[in-house]
Each structure stands twice: as structure tokens, then as C-alpha cells.
Amino acid sequence: MFILDDLLFRPFVGIIDALHSIALDELYDLNELEDELKENQLLYELGERSEEEYRRRKDELEEEIEIAREVHEQFSSGRVEVKR
Amino acid sequence: MDSETDGDRLVSHRYVYGVVEASDDIEFETDAVAEADQVYTITHRRYGAVVSDIDTTEPEETDEDAQRHDDVLREIMEYDGGQTIVPMQFGMAFEGDRELKNVLRNAQPAFRRALRDIEGKIELGLKLVREEDADVDREAIEDAVADELEPVAAQSVPNDLFSDRLVFNRSYLVEKEDQEEFDDAVAALEDEYGDELMFQYTGPFAPYSFVDVKIGAQG
């Protein structure tokens, strides 16, 4: 049964994991989110973005960054296994 | 938590702003990081760390505290007619004086070099951001800025272009006495490029970008 399980499930899980991790990387690109946070700050400081818009965007991005960090941590701690 | 109690008194840790020559005994009251109100120096032989008390070794980088960190460094630089300080990035906190003194001892050569490099100098920053619909020649702008500013600066380093609106982002190390000349050079650029670019000229800061001293908090 072990052999059968391996043959049946491993390739399948592998593909799903790979797709999953590509999607996660795109969804949770920490660098891009951090760059957007800096851009938001810069455009606010230069007076192009209103305080209201700046704060809304900042809250949004900080939340996304927090989620992205959690996801990356789960990956690196091995709690979520990724095969590519 | 990292705090221990000594009787009823909370034993605090040390939050570090930067390192000075031990002969510069710096002490003043101000709004410091983590609501501390006293900044003072802990010395070991040739060097001293300028610190305030804090109840954690992992301070959270809030906007307010990041600003206070910068402000305190600026106050130190202006203290008693002007000090040279090797600035630390935000977030360097030590368990106690013993750990801090170990670092002051072990990193002596690095502090000596850094102090020599930045003596009497300040850091200024320039970001150029293109107007939303402007189509700009990045290379021509880089050349024009370099021609105008590099002769006045002692050194400069490029910074990350974190937005596609950001055309230019550089930090300059400038002799304190040359700051006015540098201001004028930036103003001349603004006259020339003000229609297509927004200028963000910042500083003076402690010269973060020109010291390469990284110290481990558990050193």
C-alpha cells in the first residue's frame, strides 16, 4: 500500500504544490509590497497623494505585508511543504 | 518579555543611537525612542555608545520611534558645538551594559575607521520623481545631477529605485561647511528640471549610508 500511495499521490501532490507556490509567490511578493509602501509614503510626502488616500493605502499594504510574512514563515519553517 | 525585575525596579536595557569618541560625554533630555526622556553615554576605553533606556531588546519600528531615532541623532550631531557620531540603524538594543561594552571593545577598529571617514560630515539625500505623465531621459538627468553635485560632495552612494516614478535616488556625504554650496547646487537643478521632476531633498542626517559598522546585539 505504501508503494501504491507513493505512486498515486506524489506526482499529483507535487504539481498542486508547485502551482500553489507559484500563485503564493505572486500573491505574496514581499519586496513588491514593501516597494509599494515606500512609493505611497514618497507620493504623500511630495503632496501628490492626499492624507486620506495615503493612510488607506498604508493600512491596506501593511496588512498585506503581514499576511505575506506569515505565509513565507510557514513555508520556511516547513509547516507547508513545497515541491517544485 | 526580556525585562527582569530587581526588587520592585524594572531593570532596563539599552537602546543605542550610535558611537562617539569616549571624550565626548553626551547627556541631555529629549523625547527619545520608546518614551524614554534621557539620552546618555556608556563608555568603554576609547569609545562611547549614546543610549537611552528601553524595556525590550526588540523594539518595534513604529513611524514615531523611527522619527525619534533620527531626531535624537540630529540632536547629538548638534550637541555642544557639534559631535561626530557613527550612527546605528533603528532597532539596536542591548540586554545590559556588559554586552554593550563587549561590542565597544570588539569593534574598536571598525569604529575608528568609521569615525575617521565621517568626521565633520553630514548626509543629504536627493530623490527625483517624474511627474505622472512626464516622459523623461533618465540618463541625461543622472549626468546633469552628477555634474552639479558630485564636485561638492565627499562621497555618494546610489539608493534603491523602488518605484517606476522614481528617476533618481542618491545619498551624499558632504562636509558640514559645504552644505550651503550643496543646497545651491540642488536649487540650480530644480530650476532646470522643476517642470518634469518633483524634488525631495532631505537631511541633514547622521551619515548612515557611509558607515559600514554592523554590530550584533548579543555581541
Which chain A positions have a beta carbon within 8 Å of B132's beta carbon?
A: 48
Are B16 and B102 in the same domain? yes
Q: Determine the distance in angstroms separating the CA of B84 from the nearest CA of chain A, rounded to an integer.
A: 29
CA–CA min distance B149, chain A (Å): 22
Please give the mean pLDDT across all residues of chain B. Answer: 90
Task: Report percent pLDDT > 90 for chain B.
Answer: 82
My answer on whether B10 and B113 are in the same domain is yes
Domain, as residue range, for B189: 121-208
In a domain, B213, yes or no: no
Instruction: Report how many domains make up chain A.
Output: 1
Measured between CA atoms, how close is B163 to chain A, in angstroms?
6
Asked, for residue B107, whether it belongs to a domain, the answer is yes
* Pair B176, B88 in one domain: no
A43 in contact with B, Cβ within 8 Å:
yes
Phi, psi for residue B50 in degrees, rounded to 5 = -90, 125
Please give, rounded to a whole number of angstroms, the shortest distance from the CA of A8 to a CA of chain B.
Answer: 46
Q: Which among B173, B71, B182, B67 has a CA at the least distance from the CA of B122?
A: B173
Q: Is residue B39 located within the same domain as residue B97? A: yes
Q: How confident is the model at residue B6 (pLDDT cuts 50, 70, 90)?
A: very low
> DSSP string of B89-123?
PTT-EESSHHHHHHHHHHTHHHHHHHHHHHTTEEE
Identify whether residues B148 and B70 lie together within a single domain. no
B119, B150, B168: which is the final residue of a domain? B119
Q: Which residue has the higher pLDDT, A80 or B16?
A: B16
**A42 and B132: CB-CB below 8 Å?**
no
Is residue A63 in some structural domain? yes
Question: Which tens digits make up the pLDDT trace of A18-33?
Answer: 666 666 666 678 899 9
**Same structural domain for residues B114 and B141?**
no
- The residue out of B96, B119, B142 marking a domain boundary is B119
**Tell me, what's the ipTM?**
0.77
CB contact under 8 A, B129 and A43: yes
Strand, helix or coil for residue A74? helix
Residues B107 and B12 in one domain: yes
Min mean pLDDT across B138-147, B193-202, B210-219 is at B210-219
Q: What total of structural domains would you count in chain B? A: 2
Q: Is residue A14 in some structural domain?
A: no
The answer to whether B197 and B167 are in contact (CB under 8 A) is yes
Question: How far apart (Å, rounded) are the C-alpha atoms in residues B60 and B56?
Answer: 9
Residue type, position B18, single letter: G
- Say if CB B49 and CB B100 are below 8 A apart: yes
Cβ–Cβ gap B163/A39 under 8 Å? yes
Please compute the mean of the pLDDT values over residues B10-15 and round it to a whole number: 81
CA angle B126-B178-B22, nearest 5°? 95
Say if A6 falls within a structural domain.
no
Same domain (yes/no): B101, B162:
no
Contacts of residue A49 in chain B, CB cutoff 8 Å? none
Contact A45 B200 (CB under 8 A): yes
Same domain, residue pair B34 and B99:
yes
Shared domain check, B67 and B50: yes
Establish if B158 belongs to a structural domain.
yes
The verdict on B47 and B89 lying in the same domain is: yes
Amino acid present at B103: V
In a domain, A44, yes or no: yes
pLDDT over 50 at B141, yes or no: yes
How far apart are alpha carbons B43 and B109 in whole angstroms?
16
Average pLDDT rounded to a whole number, residues B162-168: 96
A31: Cβ contacts below 8 Å, ≥ 6 apart: none
What separation, in Å, do the N-terminal and C-terminal C-alpha atoms of chain B show? 20
Do the domain assignments include residue B72?
Answer: yes
Calculate the alpha carbon distances from B43 to B51, B66, B109, B148, B213 in Å: 10, 24, 16, 41, 18
Same domain, B136 and B72: no
Half-sphere exposure of B160 (CA within 13 A, CB side): 9
The arithmetic mean of pLDDT across residues B157-184, rounded, is 97
Name B10's Cβ contacts closer than 8 Å, sequence gap at least 6: B3, B55
Residue A35 lies in a domain: yes
| Model pLDDT for residues B40-99, shown as the tens digit of each residue | 999 999 999 999 999 999 999 998 999 999 999 999 999 888 889 999 999 999 999 999
Res. B25 pLDDT band, cuts 50 70 90: confident
Q: Is residue A2 part of a domain?
A: no
Q: Which residues in chain B have their CB less than 8 angstroms from residue A32's CB?
A: none
Domain stop point among B90, B119, B148: B119
User: Directed axis angle between helix B108-118 and helix B97-106, to 10°?
Assistant: 70
Q: Which domain holds residue A54?
A: 28-84
